[in-house]
Amino acid sequence: MSETIDPARPADPAPLPDAAVPEAKGTAPKRKRVVIVGAGFGGISAARVLEKSDLEVIVVDRTNHHLFQPLLYQVATAMLAPTDIAQPIRSVLDCTHHANLSVLLDSVEAVDKTSKAVVLGSGMRLAYDYLVLAPGSRYNYFGNDAEWAPHAPGLKTMDDAIMLRRRILMAFERAELSRDPEERRRLLTFVVIGGGPTGVEMAGAMAELAKATLARDFRHIDPKSTRIVLVEAVDELLGQFTDRQSAYTKETLEKMGVEVMLNAPVKGVESHRVMAGETAIEAETIIWCAGVSASPLVGQIGAETAKGGQVKVSRDFSVPGSPEIFVIGDAAAYEEDGRPLPALAPVAKQQGKHVGRLIAAREGQGRDPGQFHYRDWGTMATIGRAAAVGKFGKVTVKGFPAWLLWGGVHVAYLVGFRNRIMVIVNWLWAWLTYAKGARLITGADREAPERLPTKG
Amino acid sequence: MSETIDPARPADPAPLPDAAVPEAKGTAPKRKRVVIVGAGFGGISAARVLEKSDLEVIVVDRTNHHLFQPLLYQVATAMLAPTDIAQPIRSVLDCTHHANLSVLLDSVEAVDKTSKAVVLGSGMRLAYDYLVLAPGSRYNYFGNDAEWAPHAPGLKTMDDAIMLRRRILMAFERAELSRDPEERRRLLTFVVIGGGPTGVEMAGAMAELAKATLARDFRHIDPKSTRIVLVEAVDELLGQFTDRQSAYTKETLEKMGVEVMLNAPVKGVESHRVMAGETAIEAETIIWCAGVSASPLVGQIGAETAKGGQVKVSRDFSVPGSPEIFVIGDAAAYEEDGRPLPALAPVAKQQGKHVGRLIAAREGQGRDPGQFHYRDWGTMATIGRAAAVGKFGKVTVKGFPAWLLWGGVHVAYLVGFRNRIMVIVNWLWAWLTYAKGARLITGADREAPERLPTKG
C-alpha cells in the first residue's frame, strides 16, 4: 500500500539527524510546498528561483544528474565524457545553503489531482500545494514505438548515450574481427534518421569519428570507407533554418562523407535494416533523431493535449482547471504569435524561471512577473569541425564563425565551472589531434549480441 | 567450428581495404608473429618495444582500453571520470605509424601449446610464434568465490568501478528516501575488506565522499554519520610499510572517521552482512580489496603455479618447457633475492619491456637485454586529503609531502597528455571545493534492486 509521506515531517519515529529542516522541530507553521518533477532546464530554472523563497521545494527526478542534452551526441560519439555534461542535481541546486530545498531520486508514476499528491515509483505519495511538471520529451516512432524503438535507439538520457557509444565503437571492433565482407559492410553502415539539428550533429560527428579519429587504427577494415547515411522525410535538412543554410548543411555533410537522403520518409525499421522511402539499407547501427513527444506522465492529468502529447497550457502555464499545476518545457504546448514554441533548452529555461517567479509572487514572495514572452536569441546547429549554422532573427551565420559562436554559447550554457574546463580541454584536444578523449567501451549490451557468430 | 585465422592474410576473398599490411600483397616472406594477451602495464610495455621491430605484433584484450588501475578507486568514489584513467589501446600503442601492429578486442579462452595458437572468444584461432601472457589478476575470496563475490564486489575493471560508484551513490539516495531507521543505518554502512593499499585508499576516499562532499546535500539523512569500516585480518594496515607508517595510516583514517578493525579475518560474507572476526556487521555495500590470484587463463598452460595461481616462470619469464611462451605481471611468480616480486604496475612494466627486448633480440632485432633485475623505486599509498605514505628503500615519507609526491608520480605514470590534464583539473577542483566532479549514476544494476521495498 502506498501512503503519504511528508519528508519534512516524517511519520516514523526516527530522529532526523540534522537541523537543516526547521519545521521538523514542530514550531513553525506549515509552509506551502512546491513539487517540481524533472531536473532538466525547466525544472532547474524553476527550482533556482524558488530555493530563494520561503516555500518548501522538492525536486523529483529519476536520475541523480542534470543533463546538458544539447551535447549528448558528443558523448555518444566519444568526444566528451559523460561526467562533462552531467552535474549532480544536489550540486546544481544549492542544497548546502537552502534548507527549504530537497531532492528525491525517484520516478513519478501518477498525479492525483483530487488529493493534490504525486505517486512516486517507490510507492510513496508526496503531497503538494503547487506542482511544476517539467518531465521533458521522448522519441516518438510515429506510432511504431514497440516495433521500431528496439532497433533504432534514440538519444535522450545518459544511459542512451553510453549505450550508443558502446554500440558504435563495438561495430568497428567487430568489423575488424569479421571475415565476412557482407557482415563487415553492415557493421560499417550507420543510419541516422531525422534531419533536424540532432540528426545533423550526430551524422557529422559520426563522420569525423570514422573518417578522421579511427582512420588508421585498424588493419582489416578501412574506417574511411564507413557509410554514414542521414535520412530525412522532407526535401531539406534543418527545416527551421533558411534555404541557403539548409543547402550549405547538406553540402558540408556530403563533403565530410555523409550520404544525405532527402524525401525519404522512413517506412520501416527492423533489426539491422531501414526502409528509407523505397530504399532498403542494411545497417548494424540505426540512430533515431526524428519526432519527439511529451513524456507520457502529462497525458495522465486529463488536460487537452497537442498532437505530440504536449499539454495545452493556459497563458500562465497552468493546466486549465488546475491553477496549482504548471507544465513547462518540452511537455507543454504554448503558442506565441500563433506558433507553438519549439522544444529547446532556452524555452524551457525561460518558462521555468517565469513559473518559479509566478508561484513565489502568489505566495507574497516577490513581484508578479506579468505575461510570459519568449526571448528568442536564435537557433544554432553544428555540422562538424569548423562548420555550423546560426539564425538570429534575420541575421544568419554559417561556417567557421558560426562554429566558434556555437562552441562559446554551449560552454557558457553548461552548468559548472569544472564542466566548462573539461569540455574546453576535450574540444581543444580533439581540434589539435583529431583524437577523441572518451573512446571507452563500458557495460555489456543486453539487447545486441557483441560477439560475432562463429563462421566457417 | 573454430578455424585458424591469419589477420594479415585473410582467407576470405574480400579485398583488404588498406595498404597498411604489406604482406597482404603476398610478396614479402612470412614474418614471425608475437601474440600479446592483455593490454595492462605488462602487455603494453612489451608491445611498445615490439611495435618498433619488424615482427608482426597482435595484442588481444577483452576491453578496448588500457586501464590505469591504481586510480580505479577514485572512479568508484566519483573523484575521477572513467575516461580520465582509460585510454583506447589503439591510441596507447601507435597503430597509425606501425603497420606491423594490430589490436583485437576479444577474449582468450585457451592456449593450444601443441599447435601454437590461442583460441579466442569469437571462436577463431590465432597462431603465434611467440606468446606473451599478461592477463593480470583478479580477486580471490579465499576459496569462497561463488558465495562471497556476488555480495562483495572487487575493483579490477572499469565496469566494476562504475557499478561500485552507482551502488555507493545510490545507497545515499535510497537512505534519503527510506523511513525505516534500521534500513537507513544499513544503507549508510560501508565495509571495505582488506588493509592493503587499495583498501586503505578506498576507505579514505569513502570517508571524504561521505563526510565532506555529500555532507550537506541531503535532508533526511546526515551523510556525516556514515559508518565506514575497514577490516583487516592481521594486526596492522599496509603490512609492506614500516610499523610507524602503518600506525600513522590507522590514526589518520580514524581521524577521518573510518573505523579500523584489525585482527579481524573475514569469516563470512552474505547479502548485506559481513562476519569480521567474531563481529557481524550489517552493511548495504561491501567492497572487496583483499587477496588476489592470477587470471585463470594461465592455469591452463600446464605449468607449475604458486599459491595464488601465478605461473612459476623461468629466469627469462618463459614457461618451463615452452621457451616461446612468456608470462609477466600479476600472473607470473618471479623471485628476486628469495622473495616474489609484488603485483605492482612498475613490476609488470619492467617485465614487459624486458620480454619485448628479449623476443626482438632472439629474432636478431636488437641487443639481448641480459638478466632481468627489478628496479624498485619504492611503494606509496594515499590515505586521504594531504595524507599518504611512501617507502623508498630505507627512506620513508608521510603526510603532505608524501601526498604531493604520490600525486605527481601518478600523474606522470598516466598514459596520455589529455588524461593528465583531466586528472589534475579534477584533483585541483576537489582540493579547492571538496566537490567531486564525477558524481554520476549510470546504468541499472541487475544484481541489486535499486528501488526500496514499499513499506508501511
Q: Which of A403, A399, A378, A71 is nearest to A245 (CA)?
A: A399
Distance between CA atoms of B167 and A186, rounded to whole angstroms?
37
The model's pTM? 0.88
Q: Which of B259, B237, B284 is nearest to B452 (CA)?
A: B284
Chain B residue with the nearest C-alpha to that of A158: B442
CB contacts of B425 in chain A (<8 Å) are 418, 421-422, 425
**Tell me: domain A145-290, CATH 2.60.40.10, correct?**
no
Facing residue for A65 by CB, picked from B14, B90, B440: B440
φ, ψ of residue B383 in degrees (nearest 5): -110, -40
**A3-139+293-362: CATH class:** alpha beta
Q: Which helix (H) or strand (E) holds B322?
A: strand B322-327
Distance between CA atoms of B239 and B217, rounded to whole angstroms?
37
Distance between CA atoms of A379 and A410, rounded to whole angstroms?
12
**CA A335 to each of CA A42, A370, A376, B121: distance values in angstroms, whole numbers, following the listed order:** 17, 17, 13, 57
- For B82-103, write each residue's pLDDT tens digit: 999 999 999 899 888 899 999 9
The ipTM (two decimal places) reads: 0.86
- Mutation target among B219, B222, B423 for the A interface, most CBs of A within 10 A: B219
The pLDDT value recorded for residue B430 is: 82
Which residues of B participate in catalysis according to the annotation? Answer: 201
Place of cell 619485448: B356
Q: Do B437 and A18 lie within an 8 Å CB cutoff?
A: no
- Cβ contact B213:B434 at 8 Å: yes
Facing residue for A443 by CB, picked from B443, B452, B456: B443
Q: Do A218 and B456 lie within an 8 Å CB cutoff?
A: no
- Mutation target among A418, A420, A450 for the B interface, most CBs of B within 10 A: A418
Q: Do B173 and A64 lie within an 8 Å CB cutoff?
A: yes
**CA B304 to each of CA A363, B137, B297, B298, B307: distance values in angstroms, whole numbers, following the listed order:** 78, 17, 13, 10, 10
Q: Do A10 and B220 lie within an 8 Å CB cutoff?
A: yes
Q: Do B181 and A14 lie within an 8 Å CB cutoff?
A: yes
CB contacts of A95 in chain B (<8 Å) are 216-219
- For A226-237, write each residue's pLDDT tens digit: 999 999 999 999
Residues 6 or more apart in contact with residue B362 via CB below 8 angstroms:
none
Facing residue for A217 by CB, picked from B95, B104, B421: B95
Distance between CA atoms of A253 and A238, rounded to whole angstroms?
12
Facing residue for A220 by CB, picked from B7, B158, B454: B7
Name the pLDDT band for A430 (thresholds 50, 70, 90). confident
CB contacts of A93 in chain B (<8 Å) are none
The pLDDT value recorded for residue B28 is: 53
- For B194-237, write each residue's pLDDT tens digit: 999 999 999 999 999 999 999 888 999 999 999 999 999 999 99
Distance between CA atoms of A304 and A319, rounded to whole angstroms?
9
Chain B nearest C-alpha distance from A160 (Å): 9
Q: Domain ranges in chain B?
A: 3-10+31-139+293-362, 149-290
SS3 category, B110: strand
Q: How far apart are the first and last CA of chain B?
A: 57
- For B2-53, write each residue's pLDDT tens digit: 444 444 433 333 333 333 333 334 445 678 999 999 999 999 999 999 999 9
Q: Do A64 and B440 lie within an 8 Å CB cutoff?
A: yes
Q: Do B437 and A418 lie within an 8 Å CB cutoff?
A: yes
- Mutation target among A3, A51, A79, A83 for the B interface, most CBs of B within 10 A: A83
Which range is least confidently modeled, A144-158, A216-230, A407-421, B176-190?
A407-421
A204 CB neighbour count, 10 Å cutoff:
27
Which three three-digit cell numbers place residue A168? 558504435
Q: CA Rg, chain A, in Å?
A: 23
Q: Is the dihedral of CA B247, B251, B253, B257 positive or negative?
A: positive
Helix-strand-coil percent breakdown of chain B, rounded to 5? 35, 25, 40
Chain B residue with the nearest C-alpha to that of A12: B179
Q: What percent of chain B has pLDDT over 70?
A: 91
Q: Do A64 and B12 lie within an 8 Å CB cutoff?
A: no
CATH code assigned to B149-290: 3.50.50.60
Facing residue for B122 by CB, picked from A11, A158, A177: A177
Which three three-digit cell numbers place residue B127? 597462431
Q: What is the DSSP string of A69-127?
A: GGGHHHHHTTSS-GGGSEEEHHHHTTTTT-TTEEEEE--EEEEETTTTEEEETTSEEEE
Give yes or no for residue B431 having a pLDDT over 90.
no
- The rounded Cα A94 to chain-centroid distance in angstroms is 23
Give yes or no for residue A223 having a pLDDT over 90.
yes
CATH number of the domain at B3-10+31-139+293-362, out of 3.90.1570.10, 3.50.50.60, 1.10.1270.20, 3.30.565.10? Answer: 3.50.50.60
Distance between CA atoms of A243 and A233, rounded to whole angstroms?
16
Which three three-digit cell numbers place residue A119? 505517486
Q: Do A418 and B439 lie within an 8 Å CB cutoff?
A: no
Facing residue for B429 by CB, picked from A17, A418, A435: A418
Q: Do B81 and A86 lie within an 8 Å CB cutoff?
A: no
The pLDDT value recorded for residue B433 is: 80
The pLDDT value recorded for residue A15 is: 32
Instruction: Give yes or no on whether B3-10+31-139+293-362 and B149-290 have one common fold.
Output: yes
Distance between CA atoms of B277 and A14, rounded to whole angstroms?
30
The pLDDT value recorded for residue A29 is: 61
CB contacts of A178 in chain B (<8 Å) are none
Give chain B's count of helices (H) and strands (E): 11, 28
